[in-house]
Structure 1
Amino acid sequence: MQIACPRGTEDVLRSFYAGVLGLAEKPKPAALVSRGGCWFVGHGIELHLGVEDDFRPARKAHPGLLWESGLAALAGRLEAVGHDVVWANDELPGFRRFHTHDPHGNRLEFLEPTA
């Protein structure tokens, strides 16, 4: 899955996606490095952060990221570094879930199965 980002913000992305979310950076193929952005993997997720020169954050459209366990701990880490976490547990049976935004304002949804 690809999420858009502004050019030259790879350090901010690494701080959030690796530092806060705990995903590992995946090296991009040599032919793609010059395009900017970065890739992350972990928890069964692979995210590609790709540069858009006319970047605008996705405030409504968003990926739904399945987080097998530890969702409350993830929410705590996000809140500890200043990210809003909005829980929506009553809207989707069988899942605990919340929404937050990455440092560029892209909306993200995290879901954890309850059964």
Structure 2
Amino acid sequence: MKYAYKGIDHVQVASPPNQEDIARLFYTDILGFTEIKKPTSLAKRGGIWYQVGNHQLHIGNQTDFSAATKAHPAFEVINLELLKTKLKEAEIDIIEDYNIQSVNRFYISDPFGNRLEFLERN
């Protein structure tokens, strides 16, 4: 029997330790992601987990933290322009990218400098 991939379960980005309050302000309050409870066995490590559509985003504490400025998760959005407006109101810098035909997309950085992409297919 051959193994098969079902998809991506989660993506993880890092943050400096003890920055959960800052992460919540950004990922929960500004982006509107839904926080989910981490398993008890992992909660002592800190960080936060989010449900984003059918997938999860994990924010993990990293002592020797260095922001991911190229590698990034990409989130597919319904009504990208509305999200863009909300981000601009929150004074988040947006980097537009028009390099893929039939895809509207842009990048932002989280409070820790990690790159995040948001896109909507035409």
What is the identity, as a one-letter code, of the residue corresponding to 2:74?
G
Deviation digits for residues 62-111 of structure 1 (CA, Å, limit 9, x no counterpart): 112111x12111111111112101111x2012211000000111010111
Consecutive unaligned residues of structure 1, counting only runs of 5 or more, are: none
Q: Output aligned runs, 1:41-60, within 5 Å.
A: 41-60=51-70
1:80 aligns with 2:89: yes
| Residue matched to 1:65 | 75
Determine the structure 2 residue equivalent to 1:112: 120
Q: Which residue of 1 aligns with 2:104?
A: 96
Q: Is the 8 A contact 1:3 1:48 kept in 2?
A: yes
| Mapped partners of 1:81, 1:92: distance in 2 | 27
Matched residue pairs, number?
Answer: 112
% identical equivalent positions: 39
Contact kept in structure 2, 1:45 and 1:65, CA below 8 Å = no
For normalisation by structure 2, the TM-score amounts to 0.87
Match of 1:28 among 34, 38, 54: 38
Give 5+ residue unaligned stretches, structure 2: 1-10
RMSD: 1.1
Displaced runs of 4+ in structure 1, greater than 2 A? 42-45
